[in-house]
Each structure stands twice: as structure tokens, then as C-alpha cells.
Amino acid sequence: MSRLSKIDADMFSTRGGEYLMKIRMGTPPVEVFGYVDTCSDFLWVQCKPTKKSCYNKTAPPVFLPASSSTYQRQPCRSKACDTLQDFKLPCNAQNICLYDTQASNCSNGELAMDTFWLGSTPINHTMFMCGSNVGSLGDRVISADIGIGGDSLSLISQLEPVIQGKFSYCLMPQTNDAMNKTIKMHFGDRANVSGPNVVSTPMIKKFPPSFHYVDLIDVLAGNKTSRPVFNRSRRLDHIEYGNMIIDITSTITTIPEEMYDRFTRNIAEDIGGEGVQDPTGLYNRLCYKDLNVTRVPVVTFRFDYADIKVHPSNLFLEVGQGVSCLSMLYADDELGVFGNLYQRDLLVGFDLVKQKVSFKPTDCSLYN
């Protein structure tokens, strides 16, 4: 397939804070809804279940391999099958590439190839994991996990000859009205983020390669630093850094613990008053009763060469009975996550060829 200037796909937000993408696949094509996963290497699709215990009768499978004339099983002894690494099962007499992710008794299947459609654009010979899991969300069947990570079998990596490693999205604030609106993920030339107020930060290659790593230098509460010493010049060598990932999959943002402790002290000083316990009992977070949001300072995530401001309305979330808690946690493993809540009303564009991610403040309810 030759390079095209415009490829896009519809996305929808869920009440749980995840994002779904609508695609079509097979010949004739059938509609598939899948979770968008920026941390996944794989494109996984629900196929006809092989075990009754995996089958949810309220959410029948939407893809039957036997019904697609372009469906192709992949051989066990192939480079594509070898990319499954530890998930690959030993070759059998049929020489079909089989896998087992060991996540549950429903997480196995075969590696296959078929035609996928993004909007009106067919993507031929797309590799995917044809599995035996199924789920549902309201009246929508969740029948896929659409990996847009950086490794070889993700949707983005397979599209690279066509889209030149570029994709972008613009997430609206979570409102009842936004729940019914379509969000576009753009690929290729349309995914360029340019114009006034654009900032870009380098992406850093690390292991595992599925994550989109960047370097977080500081988190400012107003003008108060979360680091004891700030020196931008020491970030010239990016190889050993990369302490945060950009992730549309996660709602909550996490930052390294030492930085988090200083940040929460700084923001508590600005807000003033007494905090209360987290009523959910799940996290040790900064919480307030009847929070006056005007006292919440502007928070700036200072990435390498890119400052991103987070609106106070996204910084605290009401978790029940008038109690609002900080929508940020510390990272247990020191690898932070810039979650989708803080990405709202930002046009976010990835360029995996030039290894950068760009941000532009945007009213995403008007962007398409």
C-alpha cells in the first residue's frame, strides 16, 4: 500500500476514563470496538471462543475467521511468530503460530493476518492476535485491544511505511456531552502538530520498546519546584533518562516518589486549610472537603524542552460527598505516567521517526 496523506479512526470515551477505537476488519468487513492502548505491542482481536467459560452470551463475538476470505493464519516458523517471544507456544504438527499470554485461561489463540479498515482506508496484511477473550461495555461489544506502542506488532509499527510513524489525538474534558461525541485519531500527514504555542519533547528509546518514554525534569506548583536542584543543561544526553511515559490508557498520572512528596507539600501550602482522608481508602492522596478550586495553583509539567500546564479542574477530582482528591499518585517503580486526564484539551502528536512528541493547547471539543 502506498503512503496516504489522510488516515483516521473514530474514538469514544467511556465513563471509566478509557478510550475505544472503532475499526472494521476482514472481507467482508465487520465492525470492531477495541481499547486504545499506548503501552501495548500487540493488536489483539476477539475471535470465536474456544472455551465456554470465556464466552459472554450478552456479547457475542464479532469476528469469525472462517467468514473472512482474506484471513490468513501465520506459520509457527516465521519472523512474525518469533516476535511473540515468551508468549509463543511450541510448534505443532499443523505449523500454526499459537500463543498464550498466561494472563487467564482465555488469553490464547493464533497469530493471523487480515485487512483492517481505518475510516475508509483499507490496511492490507495487518498482523494480529486472534484470541478467545470477550467483554462488553453497555451496549458496545469490546472485542479488541488496539496496541499503539512502539514495538513491531503494534498497529502504529505496522503502519509505519504508510504513516511515517505519525499519529495524533485531541481528548475532550470528561463531560456527559463529550461521552456522545466522536474523537478522531489521525495518522500520517494529518497528524502533524504545528503552529503557534506548540512545544515538543524528545522521545527516548528504552526497554521495553512498547512504551513512549519522555524525560520529566520537574513538576511546578505555581512557581515552586519539586526538585532540590533544577538544571536543564544536564538533559543533553537522553539515553540514560526517560522517567515518564505518555499514556492514553491510564487516567491517573504518576510521578517519581521523591518529586511527588515535594509537589504535594508545595500545592498544600498554596491551598491552605486542613486536608481530609481519602474516602475511597484506595490511595494516600491529598484530599479536601468542599475544595475552593480558585486556590489551586497552575501546575506545570516541565519535560525536556516542553512545559505543559494542567488546568486546576483536572488536577483534583471529586470522589464522593464533596471530597476532592489530587488526581496524581507517586510511581512505585520510579517510572511516571502522564495519564489521559492531564492530556485533555491538548492536541498530542507522536512522531516515531523523528522521535518526538508535541503538544498544543487546543479546545478539543472543536477539533476534528
Domain locations along the chain:
7-189, 193-366
What gap in Å lies between CA 356 and CA 198, rounded to an integer?
12
Residue 56 confidence (pLDDT): 58
pTM for this entry: 0.89
Q: How far apart are CA 34 and CA 11, in angstroms?
A: 9
Q: State the pLDDT confidence band at 40, using cuts at 50, 70 and 90.
A: confident
Domain 7-189 shares a fold with domain 193-366: yes
Average pLDDT of the chain to the nearest whole number: 86
Cβ 173 vs Cβ 114: under 8 Å:
no
pLDDT tens digit string along 285-327? 799 999 998 999 999 999 999 999 998 888 998 888 899 999 9
- In DSSP notation, 32-57 reads EEEEEETT-S-EEEE-S-SSGGG--T
Correct CATH for 7-189 of 1.20.120.530, 2.40.70.10, 1.10.760.10, 3.40.1190.20: 2.40.70.10
Task: Tell me which of 184-198, 232-246, 252-266, 269-283 is least confident.
Answer: 232-246
Asked if residue 14 has pLDDT above 80, the reply is yes
CA neighbours closer than 13 Å in the CB half-sphere of residue 331:
17
- Is residue 303 within 8 Å of 201, Cβ to Cβ? yes
Answer yes or no: is pLDDT of 16 > 90.
Answer: no
Q: Where are the alpha helices (DSSP H) in the chain?
A: 79-82, 155-163, 176-179, 257-271, 312-315
Which stretch of 49-63, 87-101, 283-297 has the lowest confidence by average pLDDT?
Answer: 49-63
- More confidently predicted of 134 and 42: 42
Instruction: Return the active site residues.
Output: 37, 247
Share of the chain above pLDDT 90, in %: 54
- Eight-state DSSP code of residue 332: T
Q: Which CATH class is domain 193-366?
A: mainly beta
Of the candidates 105, 104, 95, 159, the residue with the CA atom closest to the CA atom of residue 127: 159
Mean pLDDT for the stretch of residues 102-128: 87
pLDDT value of residue 150: 84
| pLDDT tens per residue across span 323-345 | 999 999 988 777 899 999 999 99
Position 300 scores a pLDDT of: 97
